[in-house]
Amino acid sequence: MTETAPRPTLEAVAERAGVSRATVSRVVNGSHGVREALAERVRRAVEELGYVPNQAARSLVTRRHRAVAVVAAEPETRVFADPYFAQQLRGISKELTAHDNQLVLLLTEGREDHARVGRYLAGGHVDGALVFSLHLDDPLPGLVRSAGVPTVFGGRPDWDDGRGGVVYVDSDNRGGARSAVHHLAGLGRTRIAHITGPLDQTSAADRLAGFRDVRAGADPGLIAQGDFTPGGGERAMRELLDRCPGLDAVFAANDLTAAGALRVLRERGRRVPQDVAVVGFDDMLPVAEQTDPPLTTVRQDIEGMGRLMARLLLRGLDGTAADDDTETPSATAPGVVLPTTLVHRATA
Amino acid sequence: MTETAPRPTLEAVAERAGVSRATVSRVVNGSHGVREALAERVRRAVEELGYVPNQAARSLVTRRHRAVAVVAAEPETRVFADPYFAQQLRGISKELTAHDNQLVLLLTEGREDHARVGRYLAGGHVDGALVFSLHLDDPLPGLVRSAGVPTVFGGRPDWDDGRGGVVYVDSDNRGGARSAVHHLAGLGRTRIAHITGPLDQTSAADRLAGFRDVRAGADPGLIAQGDFTPGGGERAMRELLDRCPGLDAVFAANDLTAAGALRVLRERGRRVPQDVAVVGFDDMLPVAEQTDPPLTTVRQDIEGMGRLMARLLLRGLDGTAADDDTETPSATAPGVVLPTTLVHRATA
DNA sequence: GTGAAAGCGCTAACAC
DNA sequence: GTGTTAGCGCTTTCAC
């Protein structure tokens, strides 16, 4: 653990370049109206001294931090159960980095942490927040609101279906579900079952809604609750098979669930896809490609969601972000819903 | 995206409490030598105004940021392939939070990012860094060194086997591997194979070393290279079976590898554990409990590693951290190696 | 014990 | 165009 040497200041650079601090500041911040000759001298001095701006001093006057908080409830969401959150993080990180912003990670473990996060956000330490709020009664959204920090949500917050000006990014869960079920129906399957996710999460609720869109009058016995885990998928599949031995297709709310269902199907002697066709959701590669047989599933662009969240936030912060990108949605849209695509493998 | 209101300053609190800024500062920072009556008045004013210290202003004078960078190479490590890194992050987050430090996440995607990270670290934006460096020729460690930031590494850096003052936290990979192989031998197995991880990572190399410690004269044909993925495990297992059809045990370098090996074993008609006993490494619950049969494996306390890394760093920064904890290692130890334990399930 | 005052390093008016 | 100046909100000697 080496001791960190005193860094050169603007002052030092100015002296070395034989100009004023203001001029150095202008050059460093890329503002125009500095004669090229001078600018060059300054740049050289910066280089020679290894000058790096002191962000604390800068923040003190600009009130900008070039930092964004990412808030996620760790135990409640499936944050670490599958690579879902990790991929979003990756997208977020890329986008923030591209615009020279830092990522401050705030993980909450329970109620006690909420106060801390609220205080931090309200403390004006970051310019904005990216919040993952997937549960019905999540206190986080309210907290963030009252903290008065510009925020973009990951996943449709259930408490705001279009009224408020809540900005969020989500996958087209409902449309994706529809396409999955349509595909199954197109295969000639008539007894299509659905294993849901935990229905207090909007993504799970939306996928169920999509299923119902296509199978309006479906036998309720063909719907079983899962929880986005393989174990939940197994339980639900057994239940389904007991209730409706004649089912010929299953739409699972996510890939992990489908993996569990597949195991039970094999255990019960059903051939996939001949006897029972299966479609998942997510297209988590490590899961979907490793199932036996490989899983047909609905792909969502998870990393893209993360990138978009960051982009939207940055854009709200100032006119700085990614105007070059065609994906940028209309400025008035409260929520942005990314399309999904069906990936054909072997289970349906 | 609400507009953020102007926050109250120290000045405002001082005025309200009828004292000087200095006194408020003392109270806020918990320094002694302020009469209780005054202190109480100040606290009330802080409360009423909802005062939160401006960290930028504070950092400007103290040169401390109460922030730590976590640096990880995203594509190279298996950061997001399994929940390994996520769990470490969780441990780190908990520990940092407990000591009121923030976590700045720096993900690198390739060479281009190294310069950025180096600049950031050298820029004095954080008080220290937690760096995950698992590869032989990783440029990150060097970068961090020259940035002159207090650092703790995650995993034994290969380029420093005890000489320099490098602080790191690692699992007892070698000892854990030994216990796995001893267990297999204790079961009476005599033709024990090993599927390695990518040998440019110290963890994989150390596990191989542990295997060799116990099976000194082992037939080289009983060792096959994997890459910590299920696919790699499958390939290696096939290779092994082709070379030595009579093998009766396999020690896989991690659980994912073991999962792949298990599939091939079943496909080739070997019963587990009757014909071939299998032991993994990591005890990643979603994997180890879901294999068929459930996997016997070497558990490492991943979250604990993360916590310890943070604790060590914080301790180095000042005398602030976790002196209350018995796990804190001796001040002179360059690296800390956490014990592993064998978890018995059904494969061995 | 408490207050007054001097900066920390930077940006942004405002002069020149 | 470039320099001068006044703070941003806080901690910290140093008097009292």
Lowest mean pLDDT, pick from A33-42, A162-171, B94-103: A162-171
Distance CA A109, CA B259 (A): 30
Distance CA B193, CA B181 (A): 9
- pLDDT at position B348 over 50: yes
What average pLDDT score do residues A61-87 get? 80
Distance (Å) from the alpha carbon of A186 to chain B's nearest alpha carbon = 33
Amino acid of residue A81? A
Cα of B192 vs its chain's centroid, Å: 30
Model pLDDT for residues B87-113, shown as the tens digit of each residue: 899 999 999 999 999 999 999 988 888
Chain A residues lying within 8 Å of B3, measured CB to CB: 148
A4-16 tens-digit pLDDT: 567 899 999 999 9
Query: Which positions 60-99 on chain A have a beta carbon less than 7 angstroms from any atom of strand C?
Result: 60-62
pTM of the predicted model as reported, rounded to 2 decimal places: 0.91
Q: Would the pLDDT of B333 be above 70?
A: no
Residues 39-78 of B with CB under 7 A from strand D: 51, 53-54, 57-58, 60-62
Q: By three-state DSSP, how is residue A342 classified?
A: strand
CA distance A119 to A108: 13
d(CA A156, CA A281): 17
Q: Indicate yes or no: strand D within 7 A of the C-beta of A60.
A: yes
Residue B144: its pLDDT value, please?
87
Starting at the edge strand found earlier in the chain, the sheet holding B340-343 runs B223-225, B192-196, B249-252, B277-282, B296-300, B340-343
**Per the CB < 8 Å rule, is A103 touching B102?**
no
Q: What mean pLDDT do residues B281-307 have?
A: 92
| Residue in the block written with tokens 């929940």 | B83
Q: What is the pLDDT of residues A85-108, one digit of tens each?
A: 888 999 999 999 999 999 999 999
Q: How many CB atoms lie within 10 A of CB B342?
A: 16
Average the pLDDT over A308-336 and give the result: 66
At residue B8, the pLDDT reads: 93
The average pLDDT across A210-217 equals 96
Q: How far is B214 from chain A (nearest CA, A)?
A: 33
Distance CA A265, CA A248 (A): 11
Nearest to B260 by CA among B195, B312, B199, B304: B195
Strand D reaches within 7 A of the A61 CB: yes
A10 touches strand C (CB under 7 A): yes
A65-CA/C9-C1' distance, Å? 15
A·B CB contacts under 8 A: 144
Listed residue (A248, A255, A204) closest to A225, CA to CA? A204
Cα A252 from Cα A282, distance rounded (Å):
10
Closest CB from A74, A124, A263 relative to B90: A74
- Nearest chain A residue to B291 by CA: give it: A263
- The pLDDT of residue A112: 85
Which residue in A has a C-alpha nearest to residue B99's C-alpha? A116
Res A53: pLDDT: 94
Provide the CA A116 to C1' C8 distance, Å, integer: 28
Protein-covered nucleotides of chain D (CB closer than 7 Å) are: 1-5, 7-13
A29 CA to C9 C1' in angstroms comes to 15
Mean pLDDT of the region B145-163 = 80
Q: Is B5 helix (H, G, I), strand (E, B) or coil?
A: coil
Contacts of residue B113, defined as CB under 8 A and 6 or more positions apart, other chains included, come to: A97, B107
Residues 6+ away with beta carbon under 8 Å from B135: B73, B76, B77, B158, B200, B201
B81 band by pLDDT with thresholds 50, 70 and 90: low
Task: Quick: pLDDT tens for A236-284.
Answer: 999 999 999 999 999 999 999 999 999 999 999 999 999 999 999 999 8
Q: Considering only CA atoms, name the residue closest to the C1' of nucleotide D6.
A: A61
CB of B255 within 8 A of CB of B228? no
Range A319-340 average pLDDT: 59
Strand partners, A336: A169
Cis amide prior to A273 (ω within 30 degrees): yes
CA A323 to the chain's CA centroid: 21
Name, in order, each residue with C-beta under 8 angstroms of B346's C-beta and a sequence gap of 6 or more: B273, B293, B294, B295, B296
